[in-house]
Amino acid sequence: MINLILFGPPGSGKGTQAANLVQHYNLYHISTGDMFRSEIGNKTELGLLAKSYMDKGELVPDEVTVNMLRKRVEDNPQVKGFIFDGFPRTVAQAQALDAMLEDMGQPITALLELKVPAEELIVRLMNRAKTSGRADDADANVIKNRIQVYRENTAPVAEYYDQKDKTKAVHGVGEVAQITQNLIDALDAAIAESNAA
């Protein structure tokens, strides 16, 4: 089983790249952001709650997010592995994920961190706003807040997995196909390392 965390700031290309990696490795893609947007679309109680945080660029509380994620993992026992996209976003979420995967005997294989400069992120998100229909892409202050929250709460997750020798940085600027290849090279190396261990 391969369990990949696709990591990086808002606008770093996680969603696009997750779609490419899913095809290459035949994994199951879980995006907590997509799950929350689907709940919002269905006007559920969870959606209403999530929206109140997402519209401001804040994180949805850990407990709510972890419970939703846990259910999605448990509902898919037959898959070859997961790509976690946009999760974990706090060290507490990472600890909860590790405990969950440990129970299944299937630890995280690697965290691949897409490296993209901050100026480029803002340009990409403002462009994405033209087609994504996402309220949180359309407002420059909300974008700034999301990047700030990433720095303060989410970046420590890469350090957390680095202490377990699982974090690999990947160059995230340039052609989409080249970035996919960079990710495949990094993940293949991590798989080889975990098989050798």
Tell me the catalytic residues.
14, 89, 128, 134, 146
Shortest separation between residue 12's beta carbon and ligand AMP, angstroms: 10
Residues 6+ apart with CB under 8 A from 153: 59, 89, 90
170 vs 177: CA distance, rounded Å: 13
Is the Cβ of residue 85 or residue 190 nearer to ligand AMP in the bound state?
A: 85
Shortest separation between residue 114's beta carbon and ligand AMP, angstroms: 13
Choose which of 7, 82, 87, 160 interacts with ligand AMP (CB under 6 A): 87
Q: Long-range contacts: 147-153, Cβ < 8 Å, 24+?
A: 147/9, 147/10, 147/118, 147/121, 147/122, 149/57, 149/58, 149/59, 150/9, 150/10, 153/59, 153/89, 153/90
C-alpha 117, offset from chain centre: 18
Three-class DSSP category at 168:
strand
> Could you say whether residue 150 binds ligand AMP (CB under 6 A)?
no
Count the site residues for ligand AMP by CB under 6 A.
17
97 vs 130: CA distance, rounded Å: 34
Shortest separation between residue 87's beta carbon and ligand AMP, angstroms: 4
Question: Which residue's Cβ has the minimum distance to ligand AMP?
Answer: 33
Closest C-alpha to 148, from 1, 9, 6, 4: 9
Choose which of 7, 36, 82, 160 interacts with ligand AMP (CB under 6 A): 36
Is the Cβ of residue 10 or residue 47 nearer to ligand AMP in the bound state?
A: 10
> Could you say whether residue 28 binds ligand AMP (CB under 6 A)?
no
Shortest separation between residue 14's beta carbon and ligand AMP, angstroms: 7
What does the chain come to in residues? 197
Interacting residue ranges for ligand AMP, rule: CB under 6 A: 10, 32-33, 36, 53-54, 57-60, 65, 86-87, 89, 93, 136, 146
